[in-house]
Structure 1
Amino acid sequence: MLAVTRQDDEIAHAAWLYYVGKLSQQEVSDRLGISRFKVLRLLADARDRGMVRISLEHRTSRTLALADKLAERFNLKEVRVAPVPVAADDYEYARLAVGILAASYLTRVAGNDQRFTIGIGWGRTLSAMADNLAGLKNQNLTFVSLMGSVTHAIHTAPVDVCVRLAAQTGGRAMLMPAPFVADDAAACELIMSQRLVRETMKVARSSTHAIMSVGECRDGAILFESGLFSPQQLDELRDNDVVGDCCGVFFKADGSIADMPLNKCTPCVKPDEMSAMDVVITAGGATKATATVAVLRAGFVDRLFLDEILAEAILQNS
């Protein structure tokens, strides 16, 4: 059901920015990362479908208003908020809805024959993105891991997501031959010095786009229950008031990177290496509010895709 409304949501988003947000057609083009010609076509479709009269007529207009507030509060180029017409604690549905938004974005920006290198993190929303990607074919796409992988073959690992995206689009996957976390900083430096890791890291750092998810750092969260960390590393996360991670970097609530040894133990592309990338963050579920705010406060994110329950929680608590 959600996939059917994807085109309607694209039309409504362009119309909202133009008619309600008072952006020019060129500004809408820049905001959405699409050509001005496509903006004109979307606006024409909005008029033809009766979605634009005196005001924007679309069932997701409320979520578009939430998106505007979040974009202004955190100085973002784009925010997409997925409607979640189910129970607030149905996190599986929320992740699915956000994954569909991310798939729509990927189709929008990479749906031509241009050459793009797209850095990929890991998480359940990104897995949902891969599950719901359809109609995108571009042999010039490279999907590269921005971080090391997990030891177990799970559906949300960056290796799995990169390979699935490459298979679906006809592009190629480049995988980081490294673990998500090393035992200590010296071991991480050794891993980073290996030729295949260096070559992959060079490609990852040159990514034109990056799509990552937000992870919670708290007891009961997937990161804490995954078996990735030693007991000492878990204590380190707790002792340093870490609330969330993004792509293997651990953040405190104020958006600062926690000054602790563990942040030197993850082979990954760091936020200060992403300044030339178009950085997308995905998050699903209200429990991600604290972690998502922390990542947004870090100041390296360009676009945010999330569900409406989480959007409301962020606006109420930030």
Structure 2
Amino acid sequence: MTAIESDHEGLLALIGKDYYLDNLSKVQIASRYGISRFQVARLLDEARAEGIVHIEVRFPGNLDSIDSRALAEQLGVQKLVLTRTLNDDVLQRDLLAQAVATELMRNTKAGMTVGVSWSRTLDMAARHVTGLPRCEIVQLAGALPSSGNSNPLELVQRLGRVSNGTVWPLWAPLVVDSARTAAGLRQQVEISTALTKANSLDLAAIAIGAWGPGLSTVWDRVDNEVRQNALAAGAVAECSGRLISAEGRPVRSELDPRVLAVTLEQLKRTPTVLAVAQGAARAPAVRAAIAAGVVSTLVIDESLASALSGKPAA
């Protein structure tokens, strides 16, 4: 047990190998390591979420029938990157994360200022980034309570180590209880510096959420009155806590002054914005973000691409 505790990631790798490569059952693995089969299941999920175990599943779909260049032109984005749609949510997120990581490594140049927001997909993407030229890394959104073991600060620090560049953390929550509290936090040097660095971004990576239950991490962190007021104000999309209407306009609800994150105006001034979204239900939100002018490269799965193109998913 001491060895297990001292090398948790090693344990995840061993259990992943036993299960996925050697075809051992969870009961057999549990017996081998002196743990329960329920712990084995949890550790296998963790190994996949951490990127220690990577699984690529290819199966028939309609991805090949979608012309990514034509759809990019139709949507008004510079580039569209498509992945297949999988039934497993963790595997789906990891597939999108790999595509985001590839685009980050491909587009980051030495001396750039790169901003990264936080989402579960972007967190996984950072784990797939194996190398970046020396650049500045800026945290674009404050932290939200999470059931996982990751946070925005760890994400940017991880990218900072890969790039050997300066990291500008945002030492604040994403959403606070009042506009007055947020205003006070913005006066702190560490926080104001990070927020100001977002004025000079060369590249940004963000996630697009839809303003609805299960489609935005922020939705679940505010009370129902805030949710409904934002809906009444026209919110359909959420990016780093910033709400967007279907027409692409910023939604000025009571939530906006309580958010500590990059603004839509700052993202619009950023030359390259890499945005990721998952699932057909986020199609209206993606259209809203594009209309807002905050998407250059879009990374999505085939079900979302089908919804955006108007074609039924296979």
TM-score (structure 2 length as normaliser)? 0.71
1:66 maps to which residue?
67
Deviation at 1:272, TM superposition (A): 1.5
- Secondary structure of the residue aligned to 1:261 is coil
- 1:290 is displaced (CA, Å) by 2.1
Shift of residue 62, structure 1, vs aligned partner: 4.9
* Gaps in structure 2 of 5+ consecutive residues: 1-59
What does residue 107 of structure 1 align with? 105
Residue of structure 1 equivalent to 2:90: 92
Distance 2:112 2:148 in 1: 26
Q: CA deviation at 1:119?
A: 0.4
Contact 1:144–1:175 (8 Å) recurs in 2? yes
**1:258 matched to which residue of 2?**
251
Task: Indicate the residue corresponding to 1:249 in structure 2.
Answer: 242
> Aligned residue for 2:201?
207
Conserved? CA contact 1:64–1:80, under 8 Å? no
SS at match of 2:306: helix
Q: Any conservation in 1 of the 2:175–2:258 contact (CA below 8 Å)?
A: yes
Number of the residue aligned with 2:129: 133
Secondary structure of 2:217 counterpart: helix
Residue deviations 1:153-193 (CA, integer Å, cap 9, x gap): 74553222212222333334321112111222232222212
Contact persistence 1:83–1:308 (CA under 8 A) = yes
Q: Percent identity?
A: 22
Secondary structure, counterpart of 2:290 in structure 1: helix
Question: Residue type matched to 1:253 in 2?
Answer: A
* Greater mean alpha carbon deviation, residues 268-277 or residues 154-163: 154-163
Q: Which residue matches 1:117? A: 113
TM-score, L = length of structure 1: 0.71
| Equivalent AA in structure 2 for residue 207 of structure 1 | L
Cα pair distance change 1:231/1:133, threshold 3 Å: same
Instruction: Give the Å deviation of 1:63.
Output: 4.8
Q: Give 1:291's match in structure 2, choosing from 282, 285, 303.
A: 285
Residue 99 of structure 1 and its aligned partner are, at CA, apart by 1.0
Task: Classify 1:191/1:224 alpha carbon distance in 2 versus 1 (closer, same or farther; 3 Å).
Answer: closer
CA separation of 1:99 and 1:277: change in aligned 2, threshold 3 A: same
Partners of 1:202 and 1:224 in 2: CA distance:
23
Separation in structure 1 between the aligned mates of residue 62 and residue 164 of structure 2, nearest angstrom? 35
Paired position in structure 2 for 1:269? 262
CA gap of 1:156–1:287, structure 2 versus 1, over 3 A, is farther
Rounded Cα–Cα distance in structure 2 between residues aligned with 1:133 and 1:150: 23
Distance 1:247 1:225, change over 3 A: closer
Runs of 5+ consecutive residues of structure 1 not aligned to the other structure: 1-58
RMSD of aligned Cα (Å): 2.6
Q: Which has the larger radius of gyration?
A: 2
Q: Distance in 2 between matches of 1:250 and 1:82?
A: 26
Which residue number corresponds to residue 80 of structure 2? Answer: 79
The farther-off stretch of 187-196 and 230-239 is 230-239
